Amino acid sequence: MYNTKLAVVLLGSLLLGGCASLEAQLSPTKGFKAAVTDRERAMQSLDLAKACCKDFANIPYVDMVLGTSQLAAIDANSPVYAFSEGKSYFAAYRLPTHSGDLSITVEGIIDQTMFEPVVVMLDSRFQVTRTMGRNVFRYDPARLISGNAVSGTFTVDRSHIGNPNNESYLLIYTDESRLSETLTIPSDAKLMAKAKVVNDYGIKDPVIPHSPWGVIRFSVVDLSAGKDGVNVYKPAYAIGTDEIKEQARRSTVEVVPNKLVVPAATAVVATSASVVAKPAPAMLSETEAFYQSQIEKAVKAGDIDKAMKLVNEAERAGSTKAKSVFIDAVKRSQK
């Protein structure tokens, strides 16, 4: 009976973009409940908190790791800084430097409260290069294996390795002037009622208040393979710095992943020939059949979590049928 109910709920989430029980099952805020529920305490804490540092150079930064999705709580244990928009708790990261262009995704996860991210980027000398708020971050409704969030993706340019103007640091905070605002999100119960074609009896959509605390999720991807980035900042090349003078004395060309830096003595810096990204090949029929079989077996066994992971894995590998196979399997399990 439990697996049957779970399958029904999951099917509704697949068709309509999310449901409460699925979100609870996969909720990334499970270990940080105070950060996403206790807004009153968060507001009081912010009022009493003092700024940790006078400038960006004195902030303690943590290295941001390539290729991994990371969670972080912004709460009373986080430092506070007086940003131009007001005082805010924040998280601070040092970006990888010797890499290709970086694609960075930041999410403010929505629970009982929401932390709306603002990101400020700094160069190697801690000078602000850009600030991204609602021009980049948008409400992202719940999907198959992710809940509601405010998310945004942007690109960090690495055309010239060692350029002091390159974006080197990232801070995530929220706009104090917007803490009185709210966000209305679609009601899970109303979506389920719509899926079953029944009356929703006037169910109201949840109204989520902004909070100075919250949970963020972020990931960093190296785009050396040739993929295009979005929301790109192109720094000017800093001619005349010690790093450039050192390059001028070199007699060889320094090669870095997918980049070619010509010695500065020639006053020319160029990238290597563009690497044309080949489209991902279609999944082989044998592989497609394997995933379909495993998904159907997982659903039949009542292991919905495993089935969802297989769907996600198959779609990343190029499958176009995994989700429909999963939905059909869930439907059959209800008969």
Locus of tokens 């970006």 = 95
CA distances from 161 to 76, 91, 109 (A): 37, 25, 33
Locus of tokens 């060889």 = 252
In total, the chain counts a number of residues equal to 335
Kindly report, residue by residue over 228-277, the tens digit of the pLDDT: 566 667 676 665 455 544 554 544 444 344 443 333 433 333 343 344 44
Q: Please list the residues that pair with 88 across neighbouring strands.
A: 81
The predicted structure's pLDDT at residue 51: 97
Write the DSSP symbol of residue 107: E
CA distance 168 to 96: 7
Among 13-17, 29-33, 104-108, 271-275, which range has the highest average pLDDT? 104-108
Q: Which amino acid, one-letter code, is at 2?
A: Y
137 neighbors 117 (Cβ within 8 angstroms): yes
Range name among 75-84, 111-120, 174-183, 224-233 with the lowest pLDDT average: 224-233
Q: What is the pLDDT averaged over residues 65-80?
A: 93
The 128-132 sheet, strands edge to edge:
62-63, 91-94, 167-173, 118-123, 128-132
The predicted structure's pLDDT at residue 146: 75
The predicted structure's pLDDT at residue 110: 94
Cβ-Cβ contacts under 8 Å for 37 (sequence gap 6 or more): 111, 112, 113
Work out the angle at residue 211's Cα, subtended by the Cα atoms of residues 63 and 20, and round it to the nearest 5 degrees: 95
What is the band of 318 on the pLDDT scale with cuts at 50, 70, 90?
A: confident
Residue 14 has pLDDT above 90, yes or no: no
Residue 46 has pLDDT above 60, yes or no: yes
Classify burial at 251, counting beta carbons within 10 Å of its beta carbon; exposed 0-12, middle 13-18, buried 19 or more: exposed
The pLDDT > 90 percentage for the chain reads: 43
CA distance 335 to 323: 19
Q: What is the pLDDT averaged over residues 165-191?
A: 92
CA distances from 136 to 73, 118, 123, 126, 139 (A): 21, 9, 19, 22, 10
Kindly report, residue by residue over 101-118, the tens digit of the pLDDT: 999 999 999 999 999 999
Write the DSSP symbol of residue 176: G
pTM (two decimals): 0.62
